[in-house]
A and B are shown apart, each in its own frame.
Chain A
Amino acid sequence: MFKKALLALPVAMAVGAAAQAGEWQDPNDVLQNLLQNNPDSKYLHQSEMNIMMMPDNPALWLVEEGEDLFYAQRGPNNVSLEGCDFGKGPGELDGAYVELPRYFEDTDKVMDFEQRLVHCMKELQGFTSDDAAVGQRHGNGSDIMKLTTYIAHQSSGMAWNPPLDHPQEQAMRDAGEKLFFRRGGAMDFNCASCHGDSGKQIRASVLPQMRDGQEWTKAVSWPAHRAGHDNVRSQNHRIRGCVWQMRHAGIKHDTPVNTALISFWNDAARGEPAILPDLKR
């Protein structure tokens, strides 16, 4: 019943095909391949129910809504987002999401996906931080999550491939790796405290291992419908949640610490196909 979202896709579906960089695949097919290739991963297999629900992933509704928003003329400047360059040229969305964060000449810095989207909504459409369109970052009702889900979906099945050619890209990725292992906060945690071993649990949640690319590609595949929240969530929302549990300090939106972490974690899934959108516990 959610399948109609897929009809809007510009790219033909490659059903069940092995992961090929550059080739769009239905997110459920990507997941099924991962499951088959990793029969022993507790993390990947932890929720039978979510695996069953995947073909009817509620996040697919947001794909449709996001598409309408993307092409609508909006904001004080009454233009669509077709002029937004996510790194592959204005309006070019195929494969753009899996090649972020990246360096943008117009801002002379490395930007992650959400930061770039907000940049375009402000610069092209004329929204300001006070407008709900960019101010509200979380929840199915937010423009940001609708747009994120639509745009990310255009990269489903493609391999994570954030560029590292520009020296700033390499620098941010390397700093992100340091941040991943940097012990700190009230309880001395780094990211590896919980994501350094396979098959370990925090309460009922089986945790993904960062150095296992096939676990990690699912781990970083956001947007995802989070069943426990009954909402589609972003990479930024996941970072916020982990940092909160870690008893570090709260990270602000669109900041370099956030971007560096994403630069590293997408790099850690390099070469593995993205599940976009995914469905998580």
Chain B
Amino acid sequence: MFKKNAVAAGMAAFASVALAAGCAVADGSKDSAVDITAMSADELAEHLIFETDSFRDQEMQEGGSWRDRMTQDELQKACSMEGDPDGETAGRVVAMARAGYERPEGGVELGDWRKGAELANSGFGYRQGHNTDDHGQREQGGNCYNCHVFDPRVSEQGTIGPSLQNYGANRGTSEAVLNYVHEVISNPHQYFPCTEMPRFNSDRHQLLSDEQISHLMAYLLDPESPVNNQ
């Protein structure tokens, strides 16, 4: 319930609040004799992840190890609750997200909507484990179709996020719209704190390149794009 109108809420609160999510692993010991019942649930969850050899030792596509990928940043910690964030958390998350955002030098531009369509409909990339995506073989996609309907003529689109059909037709391509959409794709928590939507270019990491994001924006906003011709 807080999501959409929380943007202005609680902005001031952000710096001062201590995080509840614990990462104090009991004693860092790998000894199986460690007493798991002496830990809080948060401590035990962190212990299980980092001290029990539960993950495959693989190199992540964005660089680093499984340990880096599974280590939470502040935003992930703040959003690890059930349900929507309270006002204070929402404000803190929005502030964090804004602090980490950078507009591209020279402003936001639209790329090629055809390439954007391919990226939006590709779920390739960053998967790890039994079947690891090799970015050297194929470009990573945006996974957008898992959650959004862009073009009902394309089958099998998800509904976790809102339909983006006619997104540009309804909004135009003013500078304000371009900036907003770039901000949402880069780090949607600037507007939707603790949203399910991933951050595609944030201070944590860049999952899509600036160029890829410009293509996705064209798919959404270019008047020629099938998204806007329905």
Contact = CB atoms under 8 A, between A and B. Distances in A.
Interface of A: 109, 167-168, 170-172, 174-175, 177-179, 181-190, 192-194, 196-197, 200-204, 240, 243-245, 247-252, 255-258, 260
Given A171-B39, A251-B56, 4 more contacts: A203-B156, A240-B129, A245-B127, A250-B128
Nearest to A249: B66
A185 B55 contact: no
Contacts of B207: 186-187
A257 B160 CA distance: 26
B129 A249 contact: yes
Given A182-B72, A188-B76, A203 B127 contact: no
User: What band does the interface of chain B fall in when counting residues whose beta carbon is under 8 Å from A?
Assistant: 35 or more
- The secondary structure that dominates the B interface is loop
Given A182-B80, A203-B145, A250 B129 contact: yes
Contacts of B71: 184
B37 A168 contact: yes
A178 B47 CA distance: 12
Contacts of B44: 171-172, 174-175, 178, 260
A236 B132 CA distance: 18
Nearest to B129: A250
A183 B80 contact: yes
Given A183-B76, A186-B126, A192-B82, A249 B56 contact: yes
B148 to A, nearest CB: 11
A256 B205 contact: no
A18 B157 CA distance: 37
Interface in B22-66: 32, 36-37, 39, 41-42, 44-45, 48-49, 52-56, 58, 60-62, 66
A201 B130 CA distance: 24
A171 to B, nearest CB: 5
B70 interface: yes
Given A184-B70, A185-B69, A258-B54, A175 B48 contact: yes
Contacts of B199: 188
Nearest to B143: A187
A183 B72 contact: yes
